[in-house]
Amino acid sequence: MAEPAGAILVRRAAPDDAADIAALINEAFAQYRGRLDPQPSALAETAETVVPQIAAPAGAAVALRLEGSGSTGPAVGAVLYRPEEEDLYLGRLAVAPGARRGGIAGALIRFVEDEARRRDCPGIVLGVRIAVPANQRLFARHGFVEVSRHAHDGYAHPTWIRMRKRLFSAV
């Protein structure tokens, strides 16, 4: 059965996707330029910096919207992930501004959850800025809970929150 037009297809990224992923990250994080202290390091991503981040054992996924003909349009979202201790770290979740509120972030999060389960990881971890409560709420809606607060290097006060979603208990 074919997916309906406008449905979201999430697939594992390949090295050829690095430029699209970097562009999506820069576009999605541009709204924070000059608004966050320190500036988001995501704004420095390029195809060259993304390629090693998607190489095994790390990885990435891209979200595409299916068009009426069943073909896919350009990437509208991306996420990077990598092993971190026993968990999988979810990073650089990016959705094109014009495609937000369409379920793309949730689809990318579910992809990382499935990848974590495939790898037998008991959970997923991520970092989110304290100054961006909307992002904290997004991850909380997907089952993530705050586990700790941290400061970026050179800052005396916490600037980001570590969140975790438990998938299953480690044996």
Q: Which CATH number belongs to the domain containing residue 63 in this structure?
A: 3.40.630.30
pLDDT band of 3, cuts 50, 70, 90: very low
Among 6-20, 112-126, 134-148, the minimum mean pLDDT is found in 6-20
Among the residues of the chain, which ranges form H helices? 18-29, 47-54, 104-118, 133-141
Is 147 among the domain residues?
A: no
Average pLDDT score over residue span 58-84: 86
pLDDT of residue 5: 45
Domain count of the fold of the chain: 1
Structure tokens of 129? Answer: 């800025």
Average pLDDT score over residue span 97-123: 94
Is 100 among the domain residues?
A: yes
Is 54 among the domain residues?
A: yes
The model's pTM: 0.91
Is 128 among the domain residues?
A: no
Q: To the nearest whole percent, how much of the chain has pLDDT over 90?
A: 82
Mean pLDDT taken over the chain: 91
Dump the DSSP string for 46-57. Answer: -HHHHHHHHSTT
Among the residues of 34-161, which ranges form H helices? 47-54, 104-118, 133-141
Q: Which structural domain range is residue 68 located in?
A: 8-122
> Does pLDDT of 1 surpass 60?
no
Is 3 among the domain residues?
A: no
pLDDT of residue 72: 75
pLDDT band of 169, cuts 50, 70, 90: low
Cα separation, 93 vs 63, in Å, equals 11
**Shortest CA distance to 25 belongs to which of 56, 1, 2, 47?**
47
Cα separation, 160 vs 147, in Å, equals 11
